A and B are shown apart, each in its own frame.
Chain A
Amino acid sequence: MYTKNGESYFVVDGHVHFWDGSPANQANIHGTQFIDCFYDYHKNLSPAEWLWPKEKFQKYSEDDLIHDLFEVGYVDKAIFQPTYLTDFYTNGFNTTEQDGAIAEKYPDRFIVNGAWDPRDGDAGLRKLAELAARWNLKGVKLYTAEWRGDSHGWKLSDREAFKYLEKCQELGITNIHVHKGPTIRPLERDAFDVHDVDVAATEFTGLNFIVEHVGLPRLEDFCWIGTQEPNVYGGLAVAMPFIHSRPRYFAQIVGELLYWIGEDKILFASDYAIWQPKWLIEKFVDFEIPADMTEYPELTADVKRKILGLNAAALYDLEVPPGLAAKVPGQPEAEVAVGASS
Protein backbone atom coordinates (compact mmCIF):
# COMPACT_ATOMS: atom_id res chain seq x y z
CA MET A 1 0.00 0.00 0.00
CA TYR A 2 1.12 3.51 -0.76
CA THR A 3 -0.22 6.64 0.93
CA LYS A 4 0.32 10.20 -0.18
CA ASN A 5 -1.57 13.40 0.59
CA GLY A 6 -4.22 11.51 2.49
CA GLU A 7 -4.96 9.15 -0.42
CA SER A 8 -4.13 5.44 -0.09
CA TYR A 9 -3.52 3.00 -2.90
CA PHE A 10 -3.72 -0.79 -2.91
CA VAL A 11 -0.94 -1.97 -5.21
CA VAL A 12 -0.85 -5.03 -7.44
CA ASP A 13 2.29 -5.31 -9.53
CA GLY A 14 1.02 -7.15 -12.59
CA HIS A 15 4.33 -8.30 -14.01
CA VAL A 16 7.36 -9.35 -11.96
CA HIS A 17 10.23 -11.78 -12.50
CA PHE A 18 12.71 -13.73 -10.44
CA TRP A 19 15.18 -14.65 -13.15
CA ASP A 20 18.60 -16.18 -13.48
CA GLY A 21 20.46 -14.57 -16.36
CA SER A 22 23.90 -15.24 -14.88
CA PRO A 23 26.76 -16.45 -17.07
CA ALA A 24 26.59 -19.83 -15.33
CA ASN A 25 23.03 -20.32 -16.60
CA GLN A 26 23.57 -18.90 -20.10
CA ALA A 27 23.45 -21.74 -22.62
CA ASN A 28 24.74 -19.71 -25.59
CA ILE A 29 25.36 -16.26 -27.06
CA HIS A 30 21.61 -15.62 -27.25
CA GLY A 31 21.36 -16.04 -23.49
CA THR A 32 24.17 -13.53 -23.03
CA GLN A 33 22.59 -11.05 -25.44
CA PHE A 34 19.10 -11.48 -24.00
CA ILE A 35 20.05 -10.39 -20.48
CA ASP A 36 22.30 -7.67 -21.97
CA CYS A 37 19.28 -6.36 -23.85
CA PHE A 38 17.19 -6.31 -20.65
CA TYR A 39 20.05 -4.52 -18.93
CA ASP A 40 20.02 -1.86 -21.65
CA TYR A 41 16.28 -1.40 -21.09
CA HIS A 42 17.06 -0.96 -17.39
CA LYS A 43 19.85 1.55 -18.03
CA ASN A 44 17.95 3.45 -20.70
CA LEU A 45 14.81 4.22 -18.70
CA SER A 46 15.78 4.14 -14.99
CA PRO A 47 16.68 7.19 -12.89
CA ALA A 48 20.44 7.17 -12.21
CA GLU A 49 20.04 6.42 -8.52
CA TRP A 50 18.17 3.20 -9.35
CA LEU A 51 20.78 1.65 -11.60
CA TRP A 52 22.12 -1.76 -10.63
CA PRO A 53 25.54 -3.15 -11.43
CA LYS A 54 25.33 -5.69 -14.23
CA GLU A 55 26.25 -8.67 -12.04
CA LYS A 56 23.38 -7.95 -9.67
CA PHE A 57 21.01 -7.46 -12.60
CA GLN A 58 21.97 -10.83 -14.07
CA LYS A 59 21.05 -12.65 -10.87
CA TYR A 60 19.59 -10.93 -7.84
CA SER A 61 18.74 -12.58 -4.56
CA GLU A 62 15.47 -13.59 -3.01
CA ASP A 63 16.14 -10.94 -0.36
CA ASP A 64 16.42 -8.29 -3.09
CA LEU A 65 13.11 -9.39 -4.58
CA ILE A 66 11.21 -9.30 -1.28
CA HIS A 67 12.85 -6.07 -0.18
CA ASP A 68 12.28 -4.21 -3.46
CA LEU A 69 8.68 -5.29 -3.95
CA PHE A 70 7.23 -5.47 -0.45
CA GLU A 71 9.53 -3.81 2.07
CA VAL A 72 10.17 -0.60 0.19
CA GLY A 73 8.20 -0.97 -3.05
CA TYR A 74 4.62 -0.54 -1.68
CA VAL A 75 3.47 -3.69 -3.50
CA ASP A 76 0.67 -5.63 -1.81
CA LYS A 77 0.51 -8.46 -4.34
CA ALA A 78 2.83 -9.32 -7.21
CA ILE A 79 2.04 -11.47 -10.24
CA PHE A 80 4.85 -13.72 -11.44
CA GLN A 81 4.90 -13.95 -15.23
CA PRO A 82 7.15 -16.82 -16.32
CA THR A 83 9.62 -16.52 -19.20
CA TYR A 84 11.03 -19.97 -19.85
CA LEU A 85 13.60 -19.35 -22.64
CA THR A 86 14.96 -22.86 -22.19
CA ASP A 87 16.87 -22.58 -25.49
CA PHE A 88 18.92 -19.70 -24.05
CA TYR A 89 19.30 -20.72 -20.41
CA THR A 90 20.30 -24.11 -19.07
CA ASN A 91 17.78 -24.09 -16.23
CA GLY A 92 15.36 -21.72 -17.92
CA PHE A 93 15.30 -17.95 -17.38
CA ASN A 94 12.30 -17.74 -15.10
CA THR A 95 9.98 -20.78 -14.93
CA THR A 96 6.68 -21.38 -13.16
CA GLU A 97 8.40 -23.83 -10.82
CA GLN A 98 11.09 -21.32 -9.84
CA ASP A 99 8.44 -18.66 -9.22
CA GLY A 100 6.28 -21.13 -7.33
CA ALA A 101 9.07 -22.06 -4.93
CA ILE A 102 9.40 -18.41 -3.88
CA ALA A 103 5.65 -17.86 -3.73
CA GLU A 104 5.22 -20.74 -1.28
CA LYS A 105 7.68 -19.14 1.13
CA TYR A 106 5.74 -15.87 1.21
CA PRO A 107 2.06 -16.75 1.43
CA ASP A 108 -0.45 -14.17 0.17
CA ARG A 109 2.22 -12.11 -1.54
CA PHE A 110 2.53 -13.65 -4.98
CA ILE A 111 0.29 -14.91 -7.73
CA VAL A 112 1.95 -17.63 -9.79
CA ASN A 113 1.09 -17.71 -13.48
CA GLY A 114 1.80 -20.60 -15.82
CA ALA A 115 2.51 -20.86 -19.52
CA TRP A 116 1.57 -23.05 -22.48
CA ASP A 117 2.33 -23.52 -26.12
CA PRO A 118 -0.35 -24.99 -28.43
CA ARG A 119 2.30 -26.87 -30.37
CA ASP A 120 2.73 -29.21 -27.40
CA GLY A 121 -0.55 -30.88 -28.38
CA ASP A 122 -2.36 -33.27 -26.04
CA ALA A 123 0.67 -33.80 -23.82
CA GLY A 124 0.81 -30.05 -23.25
CA LEU A 125 -2.86 -30.01 -22.27
CA ARG A 126 -2.20 -32.63 -19.61
CA LYS A 127 0.85 -30.70 -18.41
CA LEU A 128 -1.26 -27.57 -18.15
CA ALA A 129 -3.80 -29.38 -15.97
CA GLU A 130 -0.98 -30.56 -13.69
CA LEU A 131 0.54 -27.10 -13.54
CA ALA A 132 -2.86 -25.59 -12.74
CA ALA A 133 -3.47 -28.07 -9.94
CA ARG A 134 0.02 -27.69 -8.48
CA TRP A 135 0.11 -23.88 -8.48
CA ASN A 136 -3.57 -23.04 -8.41
CA LEU A 137 -3.21 -21.09 -11.63
CA LYS A 138 -5.53 -18.17 -12.34
CA GLY A 139 -3.48 -16.89 -15.23
CA VAL A 140 -0.96 -17.76 -17.93
CA LYS A 141 1.65 -15.84 -19.86
CA LEU A 142 1.93 -16.62 -23.57
CA TYR A 143 4.57 -15.80 -26.20
CA THR A 144 3.23 -16.21 -29.70
CA ALA A 145 6.34 -15.29 -31.67
CA GLU A 146 8.44 -18.22 -30.44
CA TRP A 147 9.71 -20.49 -33.21
CA ARG A 148 9.83 -24.22 -32.82
CA GLY A 149 11.05 -26.70 -35.37
CA ASP A 150 9.32 -25.84 -38.61
CA SER A 151 6.77 -23.63 -36.92
CA HIS A 152 7.23 -19.88 -37.33
CA GLY A 153 5.34 -18.93 -34.19
CA TRP A 154 1.62 -19.27 -33.64
CA LYS A 155 -1.54 -17.26 -33.25
CA LEU A 156 -4.21 -17.17 -30.57
CA SER A 157 -6.71 -17.64 -33.38
CA ASP A 158 -5.23 -21.04 -34.33
CA ARG A 159 -7.45 -24.09 -33.90
CA GLU A 160 -4.82 -25.67 -31.63
CA ALA A 161 -4.67 -22.57 -29.43
CA PHE A 162 -8.45 -22.68 -29.06
CA LYS A 163 -8.12 -26.14 -27.45
CA TYR A 164 -5.84 -24.64 -24.83
CA LEU A 165 -8.13 -21.68 -24.28
CA GLU A 166 -11.02 -24.11 -23.78
CA LYS A 167 -8.87 -25.96 -21.27
CA CYS A 168 -8.11 -22.71 -19.46
CA GLN A 169 -11.81 -22.00 -19.18
CA GLU A 170 -12.40 -25.49 -17.79
CA LEU A 171 -9.55 -25.16 -15.26
CA GLY A 172 -10.58 -21.70 -14.10
CA ILE A 173 -7.52 -20.02 -15.62
CA THR A 174 -9.30 -16.85 -16.59
CA ASN A 175 -6.45 -14.41 -17.20
CA ILE A 176 -4.56 -14.82 -20.45
CA HIS A 177 -1.52 -12.52 -20.57
CA VAL A 178 -0.29 -12.16 -24.12
CA HIS A 179 3.20 -10.97 -24.89
CA LYS A 180 3.56 -9.93 -28.48
CA GLY A 181 7.18 -9.54 -28.98
CA PRO A 182 10.35 -9.78 -30.84
CA THR A 183 11.20 -12.99 -32.51
CA ILE A 184 14.74 -14.15 -32.92
CA ARG A 185 13.95 -15.82 -36.21
CA PRO A 186 13.04 -14.18 -39.48
CA LEU A 187 9.39 -13.49 -39.89
CA GLU A 188 7.74 -12.08 -42.95
CA ARG A 189 4.88 -10.68 -40.93
CA ASP A 190 4.92 -8.36 -37.96
CA ALA A 191 5.71 -10.27 -34.75
CA PHE A 192 4.05 -7.50 -32.74
CA ASP A 193 0.72 -7.82 -34.53
CA VAL A 194 -2.11 -8.17 -31.99
CA HIS A 195 -5.03 -8.95 -34.30
CA ASP A 196 -5.28 -12.60 -33.28
CA VAL A 197 -6.16 -11.42 -29.75
CA ASP A 198 -9.34 -9.93 -31.23
CA VAL A 199 -10.46 -13.29 -32.62
CA ALA A 200 -9.75 -15.18 -29.40
CA ALA A 201 -11.38 -12.52 -27.21
CA THR A 202 -14.56 -12.64 -29.30
CA GLU A 203 -14.69 -16.42 -29.10
CA PHE A 204 -13.83 -16.76 -25.39
CA THR A 205 -15.87 -14.12 -23.63
CA GLY A 206 -15.36 -15.86 -20.27
CA LEU A 207 -11.62 -15.24 -20.42
CA ASN A 208 -9.77 -11.95 -19.92
CA PHE A 209 -6.99 -11.12 -22.34
CA ILE A 210 -4.30 -8.86 -20.92
CA VAL A 211 -2.04 -7.56 -23.66
CA GLU A 212 1.36 -6.92 -22.11
CA HIS A 213 3.15 -3.64 -22.80
CA VAL A 214 -0.26 -2.25 -23.90
CA GLY A 215 0.53 -3.54 -27.34
CA LEU A 216 3.61 -1.33 -27.74
CA PRO A 217 5.01 -0.79 -30.27
CA ARG A 218 1.57 -1.31 -31.83
CA LEU A 219 -0.42 0.76 -29.34
CA GLU A 220 -3.01 1.79 -31.94
CA ASP A 221 -3.90 -1.76 -32.95
CA PHE A 222 -4.21 -2.78 -29.31
CA CYS A 223 -6.42 0.23 -28.52
CA TRP A 224 -8.67 -0.53 -31.46
CA ILE A 225 -9.16 -4.12 -30.32
CA GLY A 226 -9.67 -3.00 -26.73
CA THR A 227 -12.43 -0.75 -27.97
CA GLN A 228 -14.28 -3.61 -29.62
CA GLU A 229 -13.78 -6.28 -26.96
CA PRO A 230 -14.93 -5.82 -23.34
CA ASN A 231 -12.60 -8.62 -22.15
CA VAL A 232 -9.33 -7.09 -23.42
CA TYR A 233 -7.03 -5.31 -20.95
CA GLY A 234 -3.67 -3.58 -21.17
CA GLY A 235 -0.64 -4.16 -18.94
CA LEU A 236 1.63 -1.14 -18.46
CA ALA A 237 4.97 -2.98 -18.20
CA VAL A 238 7.64 -1.12 -20.24
CA ALA A 239 5.30 1.86 -20.72
CA MET A 240 5.59 2.87 -17.02
CA PRO A 241 9.25 3.98 -16.92
CA PHE A 242 8.65 6.61 -19.61
CA ILE A 243 7.10 8.56 -16.73
CA HIS A 244 10.66 9.48 -15.74
CA SER A 245 12.50 9.97 -19.03
CA ARG A 246 9.65 11.17 -21.25
CA PRO A 247 6.78 12.32 -19.08
CA ARG A 248 4.91 14.01 -21.92
CA TYR A 249 5.06 10.86 -23.94
CA PHE A 250 3.87 8.87 -20.92
CA ALA A 251 0.93 11.27 -20.64
CA GLN A 252 0.03 10.55 -24.25
CA ILE A 253 0.12 6.77 -23.78
CA VAL A 254 -2.07 6.93 -20.70
CA GLY A 255 -4.32 9.52 -22.34
CA GLU A 256 -4.84 7.34 -25.40
CA LEU A 257 -5.52 4.29 -23.23
CA LEU A 258 -8.06 6.15 -21.12
CA TYR A 259 -9.82 7.32 -24.26
CA TRP A 260 -9.91 4.00 -26.08
CA ILE A 261 -10.15 1.29 -23.41
CA GLY A 262 -11.01 3.25 -20.28
CA GLU A 263 -9.85 3.42 -16.67
CA ASP A 264 -11.11 -0.04 -15.71
CA LYS A 265 -8.93 -1.93 -18.18
CA ILE A 266 -5.41 -0.65 -17.47
CA LEU A 267 -3.05 -2.57 -15.15
CA PHE A 268 0.08 -1.27 -13.44
CA ALA A 269 3.26 -3.34 -13.78
CA SER A 270 6.92 -2.73 -13.08
CA ASP A 271 8.46 -5.61 -15.03
CA TYR A 272 10.73 -6.01 -11.99
CA ALA A 273 13.73 -6.35 -11.98
CA ILE A 274 13.98 -4.31 -15.17
CA TRP A 275 12.43 -1.46 -13.23
CA GLN A 276 11.62 -0.95 -9.55
CA PRO A 277 8.05 -0.47 -8.31
CA LYS A 278 9.02 2.09 -5.65
CA TRP A 279 9.97 4.92 -7.95
CA LEU A 280 7.38 4.05 -10.57
CA ILE A 281 4.55 4.17 -8.01
CA GLU A 282 5.78 7.38 -6.36
CA LYS A 283 6.03 9.14 -9.71
CA PHE A 284 2.71 7.77 -10.94
CA VAL A 285 0.80 8.97 -7.89
CA ASP A 286 2.37 12.43 -8.35
CA PHE A 287 1.73 12.44 -12.09
CA GLU A 288 -0.69 14.79 -13.81
CA ILE A 289 -1.55 15.10 -17.48
CA PRO A 290 0.17 18.33 -18.63
CA ALA A 291 -2.25 21.26 -18.69
CA ASP A 292 -1.75 21.94 -22.41
CA MET A 293 -2.85 18.41 -23.35
CA THR A 294 -6.49 19.35 -23.15
CA GLU A 295 -7.53 16.39 -25.28
CA TYR A 296 -6.93 14.00 -22.37
CA PRO A 297 -8.99 13.60 -19.18
CA GLU A 298 -7.64 14.23 -15.70
CA LEU A 299 -5.80 11.41 -13.92
CA THR A 300 -7.73 11.47 -10.65
CA ALA A 301 -6.80 9.61 -7.47
CA ASP A 302 -9.60 7.15 -8.22
CA VAL A 303 -8.28 6.44 -11.71
CA LYS A 304 -4.81 5.91 -10.24
CA ARG A 305 -6.24 3.58 -7.60
CA LYS A 306 -7.83 1.46 -10.30
CA ILE A 307 -4.70 1.31 -12.41
CA LEU A 308 -2.35 0.63 -9.50
CA GLY A 309 -4.32 -2.24 -8.04
CA LEU A 310 -8.08 -2.39 -8.17
CA ASN A 311 -8.33 -3.50 -11.80
CA ALA A 312 -5.93 -6.39 -11.27
CA ALA A 313 -7.64 -7.22 -7.99
CA ALA A 314 -10.91 -7.62 -9.89
CA LEU A 315 -9.33 -9.94 -12.47
CA TYR A 316 -7.60 -12.11 -9.88
CA ASP A 317 -10.40 -11.97 -7.32
CA LEU A 318 -8.16 -10.40 -4.68
CA GLU A 319 -9.55 -9.02 -1.47
CA VAL A 320 -9.09 -5.26 -1.28
CA PRO A 321 -8.66 -3.99 2.29
CA PRO A 322 -11.53 -1.86 3.57
CA GLY A 323 -11.31 1.79 2.62
CA LEU A 324 -9.02 1.22 -0.37
CA ALA A 325 -11.67 0.76 -3.03
CA ALA A 326 -12.34 3.53 -5.54
CA LYS A 327 -14.55 6.19 -4.06
CA VAL A 328 -16.64 6.67 -7.17
CA PRO A 329 -18.14 3.50 -8.63
CA GLY A 330 -16.71 2.59 -12.03
CA GLN A 331 -18.60 2.22 -15.23
CA PRO A 332 -20.49 -1.02 -15.73
CA GLU A 333 -18.30 -3.99 -16.64
CA ALA A 334 -19.67 -4.59 -20.10
CA GLU A 335 -19.24 -1.04 -21.27
CA VAL A 336 -16.17 0.04 -23.16
CA ALA A 337 -14.79 3.53 -23.32
CA VAL A 338 -15.59 4.19 -26.93
CA GLY A 339 -18.62 2.82 -28.72
CA ALA A 340 -17.68 0.12 -31.21
CA SER A 341 -20.53 1.39 -33.34
CA SER A 342 -18.79 4.54 -34.40
Chain B
Amino acid sequence: MKQLFIFSSALVMLLAFASCEKVIDIRLNDTAKKYVVEGNISNEAGQCTVNITQTKDFSENNDFPGVGGAVITVSDNGGAPVALAETARGVYTNAAINGTPGHTYTLEVTVGGQRFSSVSMMPAVVNLDSVYIEDRVLFGDSTKIVNVTYKDPAAKGNAYRFIQYRNSVREKTVFVTNDDFTNGNNVTNQLLIFGDDDADKKIKSGDFIKVTMQCIDEPVYKYWFSIDGATGESNNATPANPVSNVTGGALGYFSAHTTQTKTIVVP
Protein backbone atom coordinates (compact mmCIF):
# COMPACT_ATOMS: atom_id res chain seq x y z
CA MET B 1 0.00 0.00 0.00
CA LYS B 2 2.75 2.37 0.94
CA GLN B 3 4.41 1.67 -2.39
CA LEU B 4 1.64 3.54 -4.17
CA PHE B 5 2.44 6.67 -2.41
CA ILE B 6 6.13 6.31 -2.97
CA PHE B 7 5.21 5.87 -6.63
CA SER B 8 3.34 9.11 -6.75
CA SER B 9 6.04 11.08 -5.00
CA ALA B 10 8.61 9.58 -7.36
CA LEU B 11 6.46 10.98 -10.14
CA VAL B 12 6.54 14.42 -8.61
CA MET B 13 10.29 14.30 -8.63
CA LEU B 14 10.23 13.15 -12.23
CA LEU B 15 8.01 16.05 -13.12
CA ALA B 16 10.49 18.43 -11.72
CA PHE B 17 12.76 17.82 -14.65
CA ALA B 18 14.84 20.82 -13.80
CA SER B 19 15.52 19.65 -10.26
CA CYS B 20 19.06 19.69 -9.04
CA GLU B 21 20.79 18.28 -5.99
CA LYS B 22 23.62 19.78 -4.02
CA VAL B 23 25.42 18.74 -0.86
CA ILE B 24 25.24 21.58 1.63
CA ASP B 25 26.57 22.39 5.07
CA ILE B 26 24.06 22.42 7.87
CA ARG B 27 24.79 23.11 11.48
CA LEU B 28 22.80 20.68 13.60
CA ASN B 29 22.48 20.91 17.35
CA ASP B 30 24.12 18.13 19.32
CA THR B 31 22.06 16.26 21.84
CA ALA B 32 22.50 14.00 24.86
CA LYS B 33 23.36 10.40 23.93
CA LYS B 34 20.61 7.82 24.00
CA TYR B 35 20.91 4.04 24.25
CA VAL B 36 19.86 1.90 21.31
CA VAL B 37 18.69 -1.64 22.08
CA GLU B 38 18.45 -4.20 19.29
CA GLY B 39 17.20 -7.57 20.49
CA ASN B 40 16.56 -10.56 18.23
CA ILE B 41 15.34 -14.05 19.07
CA SER B 42 14.61 -16.44 16.26
CA ASN B 43 13.32 -20.01 16.04
CA GLU B 44 16.76 -21.15 14.89
CA ALA B 45 18.76 -22.79 17.66
CA GLY B 46 21.10 -20.50 19.55
CA GLN B 47 19.90 -17.29 17.96
CA CYS B 48 19.35 -14.89 20.84
CA THR B 49 21.39 -11.71 20.52
CA VAL B 50 21.09 -8.23 21.98
CA ASN B 51 23.23 -5.33 20.73
CA ILE B 52 23.60 -2.17 22.79
CA THR B 53 24.87 0.98 21.07
CA GLN B 54 24.39 4.71 21.49
CA THR B 55 23.33 7.61 19.31
CA LYS B 56 26.05 9.85 17.87
CA ASP B 57 26.16 13.42 16.69
CA PHE B 58 25.42 14.00 13.03
CA SER B 59 28.94 15.23 12.24
CA GLU B 60 30.64 12.13 13.69
CA ASN B 61 31.47 9.08 11.60
CA ASN B 62 29.16 6.11 11.07
CA ASP B 63 31.02 3.68 13.26
CA PHE B 64 28.78 2.73 16.18
CA PRO B 65 30.81 1.00 18.91
CA GLY B 66 28.97 -1.36 21.25
CA VAL B 67 28.34 -0.45 24.86
CA GLY B 68 29.78 -2.98 27.29
CA GLY B 69 28.88 -3.76 30.90
CA ALA B 70 25.14 -4.14 30.46
CA VAL B 71 23.17 -6.68 32.48
CA ILE B 72 20.68 -8.39 30.20
CA THR B 73 18.15 -11.14 30.81
CA VAL B 74 15.51 -12.84 28.66
CA SER B 75 12.64 -14.92 29.98
CA ASP B 76 10.63 -17.43 27.96
CA ASN B 77 6.85 -17.48 28.45
CA GLY B 78 7.06 -16.08 31.99
CA GLY B 79 9.82 -18.49 33.03
CA ALA B 80 12.87 -17.58 35.08
CA PRO B 81 15.05 -14.84 33.50
CA VAL B 82 18.18 -16.18 31.80
CA ALA B 83 21.25 -13.96 31.59
CA LEU B 84 23.02 -13.13 28.34
CA ALA B 85 26.81 -12.97 28.27
CA GLU B 86 28.83 -10.25 26.55
CA THR B 87 30.58 -12.11 23.73
CA ALA B 88 31.99 -9.03 22.00
CA ARG B 89 31.89 -5.40 23.07
CA GLY B 90 28.20 -4.45 23.18
CA VAL B 91 27.07 -7.83 21.87
CA TYR B 92 25.22 -10.09 24.33
CA THR B 93 24.18 -13.66 23.53
CA ASN B 94 22.96 -16.89 25.05
CA ALA B 95 23.23 -19.93 22.78
CA ALA B 96 21.04 -22.00 25.15
CA ILE B 97 17.88 -20.02 24.41
CA ASN B 98 15.88 -21.61 21.59
CA GLY B 99 13.00 -19.56 20.35
CA THR B 100 9.65 -21.33 20.03
CA PRO B 101 6.78 -20.03 17.90
CA GLY B 102 3.82 -19.01 20.06
CA HIS B 103 6.03 -18.14 23.05
CA THR B 104 6.29 -14.66 24.54
CA TYR B 105 9.74 -13.36 25.47
CA THR B 106 10.56 -10.65 27.97
CA LEU B 107 13.76 -8.63 27.74
CA GLU B 108 15.29 -6.70 30.65
CA VAL B 109 18.33 -4.47 30.12
CA THR B 110 20.26 -2.51 32.75
CA VAL B 111 22.97 -0.27 31.37
CA GLY B 112 24.59 2.96 32.57
CA GLY B 113 22.14 3.12 35.47
CA GLN B 114 19.11 2.94 33.15
CA ARG B 115 16.59 0.11 32.86
CA PHE B 116 14.80 -0.85 29.67
CA SER B 117 12.37 -3.65 29.04
CA SER B 118 10.37 -5.13 26.21
CA VAL B 119 8.04 -7.98 25.32
CA SER B 120 7.73 -9.74 22.00
CA MET B 121 5.68 -12.72 20.85
CA MET B 122 7.08 -15.12 18.27
CA PRO B 123 4.34 -15.82 15.69
CA ALA B 124 3.73 -19.22 14.10
CA VAL B 125 5.76 -20.07 11.01
CA VAL B 126 4.30 -19.08 7.65
CA ASN B 127 6.13 -20.86 4.88
CA LEU B 128 8.15 -18.89 2.34
CA ASP B 129 6.92 -20.72 -0.77
CA SER B 130 9.15 -19.30 -3.46
CA VAL B 131 11.54 -16.58 -4.50
CA TYR B 132 11.83 -15.59 -8.15
CA ILE B 133 13.01 -12.72 -10.31
CA GLU B 134 10.71 -10.63 -12.52
CA ASP B 135 11.59 -8.01 -15.10
CA ARG B 136 9.67 -4.79 -14.88
CA VAL B 137 9.88 -1.60 -16.84
CA LEU B 138 9.77 1.41 -14.58
CA PHE B 139 10.25 4.90 -16.00
CA GLY B 140 11.96 3.61 -19.10
CA ASP B 141 14.43 1.31 -17.38
CA SER B 142 14.11 -2.40 -17.20
CA THR B 143 14.59 -3.49 -13.62
CA LYS B 144 14.91 -6.94 -12.12
CA ILE B 145 12.77 -7.29 -9.04
CA VAL B 146 12.77 -10.03 -6.43
CA ASN B 147 9.34 -11.57 -5.81
CA VAL B 148 8.43 -13.65 -2.78
CA THR B 149 5.32 -15.78 -2.37
CA TYR B 150 3.60 -17.19 0.69
CA LYS B 151 0.15 -18.24 1.83
CA ASP B 152 -1.21 -15.90 4.48
CA PRO B 153 -3.09 -17.84 7.22
CA ALA B 154 -6.86 -17.43 7.59
CA ALA B 155 -6.63 -15.69 10.95
CA LYS B 156 -5.95 -11.96 10.79
CA GLY B 157 -2.89 -10.33 12.38
CA ASN B 158 0.11 -11.69 10.45
CA ALA B 159 3.08 -9.50 9.68
CA TYR B 160 6.26 -10.15 7.73
CA ARG B 161 9.68 -8.66 7.24
CA PHE B 162 11.96 -9.55 4.31
CA ILE B 163 15.69 -8.97 4.14
CA GLN B 164 17.26 -9.08 0.70
CA TYR B 165 20.96 -9.76 0.09
CA ARG B 166 22.57 -9.26 -3.31
CA ASN B 167 25.96 -10.99 -3.57
CA SER B 168 25.99 -11.03 0.26
CA VAL B 169 25.38 -7.27 0.52
CA ARG B 170 22.25 -6.42 2.49
CA GLU B 171 19.75 -4.12 0.77
CA LYS B 172 19.10 -0.94 2.75
CA THR B 173 15.36 -0.86 2.01
CA VAL B 174 13.18 -2.16 4.81
CA PHE B 175 10.57 -4.56 3.42
CA VAL B 176 7.63 -5.09 5.77
CA THR B 177 4.05 -5.98 5.13
CA ASN B 178 1.04 -7.23 7.04
CA ASP B 179 -2.24 -8.89 6.11
CA ASP B 180 -4.52 -5.84 6.46
CA PHE B 181 -5.50 -6.04 2.81
CA THR B 182 -4.34 -9.57 1.94
CA ASN B 183 -5.70 -11.71 4.76
CA GLY B 184 -5.91 -15.43 3.94
CA ASN B 185 -4.61 -15.09 0.38
CA ASN B 186 -1.78 -16.50 -1.66
CA VAL B 187 0.43 -13.43 -1.65
CA THR B 188 3.11 -12.39 -4.11
CA ASN B 189 5.14 -9.57 -2.68
CA GLN B 190 7.53 -7.54 -4.80
CA LEU B 191 10.60 -6.26 -3.04
CA LEU B 192 10.59 -2.87 -4.78
CA ILE B 193 13.55 -0.60 -4.30
CA PHE B 194 13.12 3.13 -4.90
CA GLY B 195 15.41 6.03 -5.25
CA ASP B 196 18.64 4.22 -6.00
CA ASP B 197 19.71 4.98 -9.54
CA ASP B 198 23.15 3.57 -8.95
CA ALA B 199 23.77 1.14 -11.83
CA ASP B 200 26.19 -0.96 -9.73
CA LYS B 201 23.45 -1.66 -7.22
CA LYS B 202 20.94 -2.96 -9.78
CA ILE B 203 20.27 -6.67 -9.87
CA LYS B 204 21.95 -8.30 -12.88
CA SER B 205 22.02 -11.76 -14.41
CA GLY B 206 24.33 -14.02 -12.49
CA ASP B 207 23.84 -12.21 -9.18
CA PHE B 208 23.37 -14.37 -6.12
CA ILE B 209 20.21 -13.32 -4.27
CA LYS B 210 19.33 -14.41 -0.75
CA VAL B 211 16.01 -13.53 0.90
CA THR B 212 15.23 -14.02 4.57
CA MET B 213 11.62 -13.95 5.67
CA GLN B 214 10.72 -13.15 9.25
CA CYS B 215 7.26 -13.62 10.74
CA ILE B 216 6.98 -10.77 13.24
CA ASP B 217 4.41 -9.55 15.75
CA GLU B 218 2.45 -6.31 15.41
CA PRO B 219 4.68 -4.03 17.55
CA VAL B 220 7.78 -5.13 15.62
CA TYR B 221 5.92 -4.56 12.35
CA LYS B 222 5.11 -1.07 13.55
CA TYR B 223 8.76 -0.41 14.34
CA TRP B 224 9.98 -1.39 10.88
CA PHE B 225 7.02 0.27 9.20
CA SER B 226 7.64 3.58 10.96
CA ILE B 227 11.42 3.59 10.60
CA ASP B 228 10.81 5.11 7.18
CA GLY B 229 10.37 8.44 8.97
CA ALA B 230 13.93 8.24 10.28
CA THR B 231 15.74 7.51 7.02
CA GLY B 232 16.36 11.21 6.43
CA GLU B 233 15.09 10.75 2.91
CA SER B 234 11.36 10.83 3.33
CA ASN B 235 10.33 13.46 0.86
CA ASN B 236 7.22 14.91 2.29
CA ALA B 237 6.23 13.21 5.50
CA THR B 238 7.19 14.85 8.77
CA PRO B 239 10.24 12.94 10.02
CA ALA B 240 9.89 11.10 13.32
CA ASN B 241 11.51 8.38 15.38
CA PRO B 242 10.13 4.89 14.82
CA VAL B 243 7.59 3.53 17.28
CA SER B 244 9.67 1.35 19.59
CA ASN B 245 8.45 -1.61 21.62
CA VAL B 246 11.23 -0.98 24.15
CA THR B 247 10.07 0.96 27.22
CA GLY B 248 12.24 3.08 29.50
CA GLY B 249 13.49 5.63 26.97
CA ALA B 250 15.74 3.67 24.62
CA LEU B 251 15.63 3.59 20.84
CA GLY B 252 15.49 0.28 19.01
CA TYR B 253 13.39 -2.86 19.16
CA PHE B 254 13.08 -6.35 20.56
CA SER B 255 11.94 -8.85 17.95
CA ALA B 256 11.01 -12.50 18.50
CA HIS B 257 10.52 -13.88 15.00
CA THR B 258 10.64 -17.02 12.94
CA THR B 259 13.10 -17.06 10.10
CA GLN B 260 13.45 -18.83 6.74
CA THR B 261 15.88 -18.26 3.90
CA LYS B 262 15.83 -18.99 0.20
CA THR B 263 18.49 -18.28 -2.39
CA ILE B 264 18.44 -17.87 -6.14
CA VAL B 265 20.90 -17.11 -8.92
CA VAL B 266 19.47 -14.39 -11.17
CA PRO B 267 18.73 -15.96 -14.57
The finding on whether chains A and B are genuine partners in a shared complex, rather than unrelated, reads: no
A interface vs B, CB < 8 Å?
A: none
